[in-house]
Structure formats: C-alpha cells, structure tokens
Structure 1
C-alpha cells in the first residue's frame, strides 16, 4: 500500500486557503498512486491560531465534512483529515457520541476511498505548555481503529506521542499502523523525531508522523516540519525537511507479522 504524508505550509487562520491547498495536495497524492494520505493537525486554521478556532469550528454533520468526504471519493483515495475544531454540541445534536455535552474538540476523521467516514478520533492529551489548547478544548475518551488496505490503523494526535500507554491500548486492539497528525513546533525537533521512532519500535508497527510548517506570530510559534514514515523496525522509509512537501512510502502489511515473528518482544510483555 502506498501512503502519503502531506506536510502543508499552514497559513494562520486562513481556512479556505488552507482547505484549497490541502485539496490540491490530496489530488496530487492520488494521481501519484497513493492509497492513503494523512494531513497535519489543525490543517485548516493552524494549531497555534487559537483566536481563530471559532472561524473553523464545525459539528460532524457540518457541510465541511461533506467537502472533505468528496475529496476522498472524487480522487479514489482514503485520507485522514488531519484534525479540525469540532463543535461537540452540534455533533451531539446530530446524534453522535461525544465526550461532553458542549465545548470544542481536536478531532481527526478517517475517510475511505468512497468518502465514507470510518473513524473519528478526538485528541486525548491536550497540550498546556505555552498553548491554550487545554483551556479551549475538551479531551477525547475513545479510540479510532480502522481496517484498511490489509492494515489495522489507529489514529493519535501530536502531544499523544509522549504517552506510550495510549499506543499499548491501540496495540491491544490489533493496530499495526499508527497515524499521527501533528503541529509540532521548534525547538523540540529531537523530541519529535525520537518519540515517533520510539512508538514505532516499541509497538513493532508502522507509524506515519505528519507535521505541518508555518509561523504563528501571535503565539510566537513555528512548526518544524520533518514528517516521517517509519517501518516496524523504526527505520525511516521517508522523511521531510521543514518545507511544504509530500513524502511517500510503500508499506507492506505482511512486514508487520514478519518483524513481530522474528523479534517477538511483544510476547514478553508482563
């Protein structure tokens, strides 16, 4: 299966501009043969554009999600729509199970090739360090696990990388490929690279870590890019620098079983 990590240059607060460039990148990835694409965290407004969150907020029945579904169906490609600001009250009113009756969440959605919504993940660990996320948003409380292309795919988001117990829970659900839409800033490049690789190694799973690029002067923050696709040994099959780009790699479902059989560390858990 061919996967594409789409590292967007996100313009602070510019929802339509960011949506247009995301659509263009997804179209290009599909044209190049990608089966699955992943976008960065808060790709529509920019993670650190806290004052602009209200300009993008949408319930799961909002036309925004129809537009995202069409991006998948029109291009015959599955994709993880990074994350968006979800209006929990609107989603609840539409009959969706939500972690709170109101408030906003940092929500990732998995669309299949037909534009069907297959998974919804709300970020569990909200970032508080030099960030208003933990003040503005509600944490999620459920997992997203999707069968696609012979893989069992689990979604997490950015700061979640620092909490390995979440990934063990996904492992126990049979996950063998992890996707991590992110908005990881400078200067913690070493943390970003080390934690993504570590989660792949310790779970003997593929991991697709997708970051954005761009500056957010109001928060004095700049995203560091450096998206990467790791195999179950923790070897980087594709990496990016700090510019807007798309990286691709072929991932093979059978490789996970081969690695786990040849190095059965997971069998030694206590």
Structure 2
C-alpha cells in the first residue's frame, strides 16, 4: 500500500459545446504532466456547463470515455472529470474515473442545479462512487453536491473527497468556505477542481481550485489558468484521526 498519492489538478478555460477542441486542449496540457497518480479535470470539461445537451452528438460521451482511456494509458495516471453523457435517450452529468488499465467507473451528479434548470435536462444520480485506488479510498462528487453535507458525510470511511465543478465567480466565496468545511467535518482530504474563463451565458469563472488536508489546512490554490500538483499522505489521515477521534462522535443516521 502506498502512503502518498500524487494528484494533478487542471484548471482551464472550456470552449463552449466543442468536445473535440476541448479534448485537444486538455490533451496538450496532459502532455506536460509526468509521474503522477491521478489527473483531475473540471465538470463538463468537453462542453462547459451547457443546458442544451441536445446540441451534442449522442456519440460524444462514448468518444470522450475512449479518449480518457487513451490519455490514462499514455500518462500512466488515472483520469477523472464529468461530461454530458446520453444513454437511452436520457442525459446525465456523469463523472468518469478511468485507470491506465482501462478500468472505468461512473458517478451521476446527485444534486442537479435547479437554479440553472439542470434538473429539467439531466437525470439525477442516486448512488455514491467510492473507489479504492493505490491505497486511498476516494469519494467523488460534482459541483452543486458541495452544498449538501449529508451526501458527503463520512460514513464510508473514505480518505479523499473530490469535487469537479463549474462554479461561477458570484458565488466563489461559498465554494472556498464549503471545500474547507467538508475537509474539517469529514476529517479527510478535500479537493476541488474548478474551471476558469467565461462561458456562452456570460458567467465568469475565477478558478479557486484547491486542496485541503483533514485539519482544513490549504495545500494548493489558484486563480489563473494553471496545472496544480498536490501530494496527499495516508499517514496524515491516520495520525489526525487517531489523535482527534471526532468521527466517532458523529450522529448516526442514514439517507432514505
């Protein structure tokens, strides 16, 4: 079992509803990355946060998953990010976790963003995605999920809570605050990867991709187009939870 996991966060602009161009853009950035275990891309990284999934070819989801497999094999790192995915005539904001061996897991966004009408266009997910990868237990979430602490509550003994997002500038203080809070209350690493730039709707994105340790200490942070690196340590989690047994005092209940 490894004690450390090296993670790359790619904070990038996204070209509106242009999957091929975005794949090329992220591929070029990945060509500069070496020796990491996991590469994290933003929410809807091939399109931006579009509420018009019907504008996309239904095959685009499969094309992007195959691309992720190729890039994972090339970089020798697992890759995670969410995309618009169409299946049986229904649309999903679906996160994929792809390993260099070609293994694929998926997570559908649990909390669709009603303020933008995402609930009318995309099917909401119902299940968590917890992956054991290189000795670390990873829990994946998408953007708006960040506002709902019960869904991320650490009843599954995970080590890392990871969010991919398109979180706009007007509400960026909430993003900063909640990422840190999720780390502290769950006594886990918490990592958030946001985009930068502006979209077709005129929304501005200022990044603020960041990583926090189990005590809420900020490890990395950025407000510009940038590739960030962070190394997380299993021993930090063990030591923190051994010394501060707060998780043992949590309220015991289940989601229905």
Q: TM-score, normalised by structure 2?
A: 0.91
The answer to whether the 8 A contact 2:51-2:117 is kept is yes
Matched, 1:195 2:194: no
User: In the TM superposition, what whole-angstrom CA distance separates every residue of 1:191-242 from its partner, at most 9, and x where no partner exists?
Assistant: 010001100110010111000012124x23122211001111111111011x
Q: Please name the residue that 1:172 is paired with.
A: 155
The answer to whether the 8 A contact 1:209-1:228 is kept is yes
Q: Offset at 1:56? A: 5.3
User: In the TM superposition, what whole-angstrom CA distance separates every residue of 1:143-188 from its partner, at most 9, and x where no partner exists?
Assistant: 11111121100100000000001111xx222211011000000111
1:90-101 paired onto structure 2 within 5 Å = none
Out of 100, 104, 111, the position equivalent to 1:113 is 100
Out of 131, 137, 144, the position equivalent to 1:152 is 137
231-240 or 19-28: bigger deviation:
19-28
Give the strand-richer structure, 1 or 2.
2
Query: Which aligned runs of 4 or more in structure 1 are off by greater than 6 angstroms?
Result: none
Going from structure 1 to structure 2, the CA distance change for 1:175 and 1:2 (only over 3 Å counts) comes to same
Matched, 1:212 2:212: no
Instruction: Provide the rounded CA distance (Å) in 2 between the counterparts of 1:28 and 1:194.
Output: 31
Q: Please name the residue that 2:71 is paired with.
A: 71
Identify unmatched segments of 5+ residues in structure 1: 90-101
The answer to whether the 8 A contact 2:187-2:241 is kept is yes
Q: Please name the residue that 1:98 is paired with.
A: none
Out of 145, 148, 166, the position equivalent to 1:163 is 148
Instruction: Provide the rounded CA distance (Å) in 2 between the counterparts of 1:174 and 1:113.
Output: 25
Q: Offset at 1:36? A: 0.7
User: RMSD of aligned C-alpha atoms?
Assistant: 1.6
Going from structure 1 to structure 2, the CA distance change for 1:194 and 1:56 (only over 3 Å counts) comes to farther
1:188 is paired with a residue of what secondary structure?
helix
1:83 is paired with a residue of what secondary structure?
strand
